[in-house]
Amino acid sequence: MDQHSSRNYTPIIVTLTIVINALVALLFFMPKIEIFTHFDITIFPLFNAVLNSFTFTFLVAALITIKQKNIKLHRRFIYAAFTTTGLFLLSYVTYHAMSESTPYGGEGPLRYIYYFILISHILLSIAIVPLALTTFFRGIANKIDKHRKIARWTMPIWLYVSLTGVLVYILISPYY
């Protein structure tokens, strides 16, 4: 038995879930920070959309490679997806710590579509944090049956969150 399979990752998962979700929620109640007065922060939303698109691509590649039973390559794509997601979170927190949220300015049916996508994206992004971490650590611990069982839920939700992150950007980008 290796060190990963006997380790209890629950405290890490719970702590990261609480810290990440609380930090993102606090951003909308905190006063904005003005530290980069000569830096154009409007580049962040596009950068975030690019990171989300990379995450989506890495997840699709991870799904394809695991269906081909290529575990080594699957792991690399999952590591890449976690990396781009982590970079996204850092960029997202940085941007929203310095900038107010941009209101959606569209009207008609597109407005309802936008808010449906946004609300489902937000709710599922909250849920994906513990799901992705649990799935990841079960894979690391070589608990394959448990990993597969939760990955069936994690993968489609994470794909949806990363794709809708890009869609939200596309829909709101005219109003930045």
**Residue 30 structure tokens:** 């905190």
Q: Is 154 exposed, middle or buried (0-12, 13-18, 19+ CB in 10 A)?
A: buried
Provide the 8-state DSSP code for 141: T
Q: For position 5, what pLDDT does the model report? A: 64
**AA letter at 174:** P
Contact present, 99 and 41 (Cβ < 8 Å) = yes
The residues spanned by each domain of the chain are 12-24+40-175
Q: For position 39, what pLDDT does the model report? A: 80
C-alpha to C-alpha distance for 40 and 37, rounded to whole angstroms: 8
Beta carbons within 8 Å of 7's beta carbon, 6+ residues apart: 141
Q: For position 49, what pLDDT does the model report? A: 99
**AA letter at 142:** N
Q: For position 77, what pLDDT does the model report? A: 99
**Residue 134 structure tokens:** 């649990």
Which residue has tokens 């830096």?
Answer: 39
Q: Which residues of the chain have pLDDT under 50?
A: 1
Beta carbons within 8 Å of 44's beta carbon, 6+ residues apart: 91, 92, 94, 95, 99
Q: For position 38, what pLDDT does the model report? A: 77
Q: For position 127, what pLDDT does the model report? A: 97
Q: For position 2, what pLDDT does the model report? A: 56
Q: For position 36, what pLDDT does the model report? A: 65
- Cα 169 to the center of its chain, rounded Å: 14
**AA letter at 163:** L
Whole-model pTM: value is 0.89
C-alpha to C-alpha distance for 14 and 10, rounded to whole angstroms: 6
Residue 94 Cα distances to 42, 43, 104, 123, angstroms: 11, 12, 21, 21
